[in-house]
Amino acid sequence: MKKTVLASSIIFTTLTLQSFSFDSVMDKVTDFKKFTKPGDMTPKEMVETMTGGVLSTELITKAFKQALKIGVTKAVDTLGQKGGFMDNPAVHIPLPPPFSQMETMIRASGGGDMVDEFILSMNRAAAQAAPQTAGIFVTSIDDMSFNDAADILMMDGSPATDYFKRHTKEDLKKLITPIIIKEMKSNQVYKYYDAVKKVADPGIKTFAKVSNFMGMAEKLHMKKHIPQDGVNIEEYVTDHTIDAIFMMIGQSEKMIRTNPAHQTTAELRKVFGQFVP
């Protein structure tokens, strides 16, 4: 206990004599842990103690929500541009399986243009849907409760985004799927999907007769991926769209955590930037 008190005194003296950055706080937390037994303090108690009470759970949560909303705005603005998905390798929506494994055969059978149009239609639908999801994402952020905000604060990478994705993705899918379907229809995704499927089906069926492919696929729990049974194309495009938005939110969070130029509000500067306690 004496070591804990001594460590606290040393750190508090250091903190009150100089401004410090988020990274320096993390370094001091690491040093502080060396003087305490595991489990002596909760992350919330540790953060509040290390910052003299400046960083409360409420302030951290508010900063998280601001960071996530900024990320949403940047994500949908970027993805919603012409070519926002198609021209970005990081989020480009490829041919779905099993068509992706059969692409060479489909193209050799005269389906090259159909494949290209199918891929383009999916990416256009996602790009046109992305801006329409902004309000849904923001509402989900507003409704979130970061019960372990202090713990998330001390993690590396983009933990607030990861937490957001983990707790909201399935609900977001339900709300966003109708938007995706609407844009898929307007971009003729289903038309090109059916065209590619017609080219792919004969090859699959011929192979199936020779090798009992469908029986093997069923045993391997892969039958749902065979074209005869239909690819869940709505879920495929929706998942790619949501994951792309989350990826960009995570990139934005990392920038806010590490670059003062991206800390554009008082809360962001207090939690992630430099301040005097």
Alpha-carbon span 80 to 126, nearest angstrom: 8
The per-residue pLDDT of the chain, averaged, comes to: 79
pLDDT band at 101 (very low <50, low <70, confident <90, very high): confident
Q: Which residue has the tokens 């372990």?
A: 148
What's residue 213's pLDDT?
Answer: 46
Phi, psi of 176, rounded to the nearest 5 degrees:
-90, -25
Asked if 61 contacts 102 with a C-beta cutoff of 8 angstroms, the reply is no
Domain membership flag for residue 51 = no
Q: Which residues contact 49 (CB under 8 A, 6 or more apart)?
A: 8, 41
Domain total for the chain? Answer: 1
Domain membership flag for residue 45 = no
Domain membership flag for residue 44 = no
Which range has highest mean pLDDT (29-38, 125-134, 212-221)? Answer: 125-134
Domain membership flag for residue 48 = no
Higher confidence at residue 81 or residue 33?
A: 81
Domain membership flag for residue 131 = yes
Domain membership flag for residue 36 = no
Asked if 277 contacts 15 with a C-beta cutoff of 8 angstroms, the reply is yes
Section 123-150 average pLDDT: 94
Higher confidence at residue 217 or residue 40?
A: 40
Q: Is 226 helix (H, G, I), strand (E, B) or coil?
A: coil
Question: Where do the H-state alpha helices sit in 36-188?
Answer: 43-50, 57-79, 103-106, 112-129, 134-143, 149-153, 159-186
Show the domain range for 70: 57-267
Q: What is the pTM of this model?
A: 0.76
**DSSP symbol at 263:** -
Our CA dihedral for 114, 120, 122, 127, rounded to 10 degrees, sits at -170
Domain membership flag for residue 209 = yes
